[in-house]
Amino acid sequence: MKVTIIGSGSWGTGLAQVLADNNVDVTIWGIDESQIDDIANNHLNSTFFPGVKLNPAIKATTDLATVTGSDIVLLSVPTIAIQSVCEQVAPYLDKKAIFVNTSKGFHPDTNARMSDVIRASVPADKLSSVVSLIGPSHAEEVVERLLTTITAVSQNEEDAKTIQRVFSNDYFRVYTGNDEIGAELGVALKNAIAVASGILAGIGYGDNTRAALITRGIAEVMRFGSAYGGKKETFMGLTGIGDLIVTATSRHSRNFQAGYEIGKANDAQIYWDTNKKTVEGVRTAKVVHELAKAKNIDMPIIEEVYKVLYEGKEPKQSAKDLMLRELKSE
Ligand SMILES: NC(=O)C1=CN([C@@H]2O[C@H](COP(=O)(O)OP(=O)(O)OC[C@H]3O[C@@H](n4cnc5c(N)ncnc54)[C@H](OP(=O)(O)O)[C@@H]3O)[C@@H](O)[C@H]2O)C=CC1
Ligand SMILES: O=C(CO)COP(=O)(O)O
């Protein structure tokens, strides 16, 4: 089994650690020469995990020809780059490969889900199927081999089981699932709710607020996800409430961190002026704002995140407006 990981960022490196620990032949392909050199020769990815030793069996290269012969191609670049890396990779494949998606969000122009983007970008004779490997899983913890559970979601049960088998070990437990729509919408939307969680913490609100946010947040995710074809029970699993909990509460979350800075400043401009990290929830808030309007779905929390990010609304005013909305029963 040969696996190529596309992207030398934090999640690609974390998943390479899992595969190398499982004695799988794994190579990371990336565009940043110094990062690739660090992984290949020092067995470190100092940009993301300073001081954390990587399994020395992980190979790394900037040569895309390494993709030839791969049984599995795992994509770990931000959602904005998924289509372009698929188009770059496909010509190098000499057989059908399982494409593993790990990105959480939507296509930058079409708002399509990631599995649909991959299916549209990889020719059928190069694609066995798409499996999304998604769930509550901060790379910073996986690379340190802290116990993690995740789901391999696919329309193709056999390929989902292959990914389950290849990745599972005593610290990384993989479940399978087939609700691609529900799972991919769950992990995308939770990022926008995590931005809200960071904002509320940055303002100075406490644990009651966070519990309210998570509870009302999953209700919103479920409302949106089922309107777009997801199964209700999926939102109660790892790709729903599980991923929302970890992202809305963890110091590792870049969505939470971005929100925190915005809340502290009571202004989103600080994010637009300074952020250099991958923060998928920011664009997701815009996509959800548009898609919710199209189907008239009530999304009060994500709508306030949208207003803070894109209309200059003060976060403190947004929090008050959420509390003073028309009173409802649960
Ligand atoms: N980090 C995590 O814990 C988890 C992340 N995810 C998801 O995984 C996806 C990737 O995130 P993550 O790894 O954290 O992001 P990072 O920012 O850590 O890494 C992204 C990597 O992709 C590279 N990249 C960007 N564009 C291209 C391109 N066009 N061609 C080749 N490489 C490219 C970047 O290179 P450069 O820096 O040189 O631009 C960088 O090495 C996101 O959708 C995220 O939501 C999911 C679960 C966990
Ligand atoms: O998706 C993640 C954990 O499951 C990573 O979250 P962040 O992108 O907010 O760091």
Look at residue 92 in the predicted model and tell me its pLDDT: 98
Q: Where does ligand 1 bind, in terms of residues with CB under 6 Å?
A: 7-12, 30-32, 48, 76-79, 81, 84-85, 102-105, 137-139, 278, 280
For the CA of 77, the closest atom of ligand 1 is: 22
Does residue 6 contact residue 89 with C-beta atoms inside 8 Å?
yes
Quick one: 47 and 84 in the same domain?
A: yes
Task: Assign 242 a pLDDT band (cuts: 50, 70, 90).
Answer: very high
Which residue among 178, 203, 226 closes a domain?
178
Q: Where does ligand 2 bind, in terms of residues with CB under 6 Å?
A: 104, 136-138, 191, 194, 243, 246-247, 252-255, 280
Quick one: 144 and 223 in the same domain?
A: no
Quick one: 192 and 120 in the same domain?
A: no
Quick one: 167 and 186 in the same domain?
A: no
Look at residue 106 in the predicted model and tell me its pLDDT: 98
Which residue among 160, 178, 196 closes a domain?
178
CA separation, residue 109 to residues 84, 124, 130, 269, 287 (Å): 13, 23, 21, 23, 10
Q: Is residue 329 part of a domain?
A: no
Q: Is residue 328 part of a domain?
A: no
Per-residue pLDDT tens over the stretch 269-295: 999 999 999 999 999 999 999 999 999
Helix boundaries (H) for 22-99: 33-37, 82-89
Pairing, β 72-75 against β 2-6? parallel
Within 10 angstroms of residue 49's Cβ, the number of other Cβ atoms is 18
CA separation, residue 290 to residues 256, 264, 285 (Å): 22, 27, 9
Per-residue pLDDT tens over the stretch 210-221: 999 999 999 999
Residues in binding site for substrate:
104, 254-255
Q: Is residue 330 part of a domain?
A: no
Quick one: 52 and 173 in the same domain?
A: yes
Structure tokens at 286: 């815009």
Q: Is the pLDDT of residue 308 over 90?
A: yes
Quick one: 81 and 191 in the same domain?
A: no
CATH at residue 276: 1.10.1040.10
Look at residue 102 in the predicted model and tell me its pLDDT: 99
Quick one: 208 and 271 in the same domain?
A: yes
- CA dist 138 and 142 (Å) reads 6
For the CA of 80, the closest atom of ligand 1 is: 26
Look at residue 330 in the predicted model and tell me its pLDDT: 83
Ligand 1 mean position to 93 CA, how many Å?
22
Q: Is residue 285 part of a domain?
A: yes
Average pLDDT of the residues in 73-90: 98
Per-residue pLDDT tens over the stretch 117-141: 999 999 999 999 999 999 999 999 9
- CA dist 54 and 81 (Å) reads 25
CATH at residue 95: 3.40.50.720
Quick one: 204 and 115 in the same domain?
A: no
Quick one: 185 and 174 in the same domain?
A: no
Domain that holds residue 119: 2-178
Quick one: 145 and 78 in the same domain?
A: yes
Quick one: 273 and 172 in the same domain?
A: no
Which residue among 178, 207, 233 closes a domain?
178
- How many domains does the chain contain in total? 2
Nearest to 11 by CA among 236, 254, 197, 189: 254
Q: Which residues are catalytic?
A: 190
Does residue 39 contact residue 15 with C-beta atoms inside 8 Å?
no
For the CA of 138, the closest atom of ligand 2 is: 3
pTM (whole model) above 0.90? yes
Q: Is residue 103 part of a domain?
A: yes
* Chain mean pLDDT for the chain: 98
Q: Is the pLDDT of residue 87 over 90?
A: yes
Quick one: 131 and 233 in the same domain?
A: no
Task: Assign 105 a pLDDT band (cuts: 50, 70, 90).
Answer: very high
Q: Is residue 308 part of a domain?
A: yes
The ipTM (two decimal places) reads 0.98
Q: Is residue 190 part of a domain?
A: yes
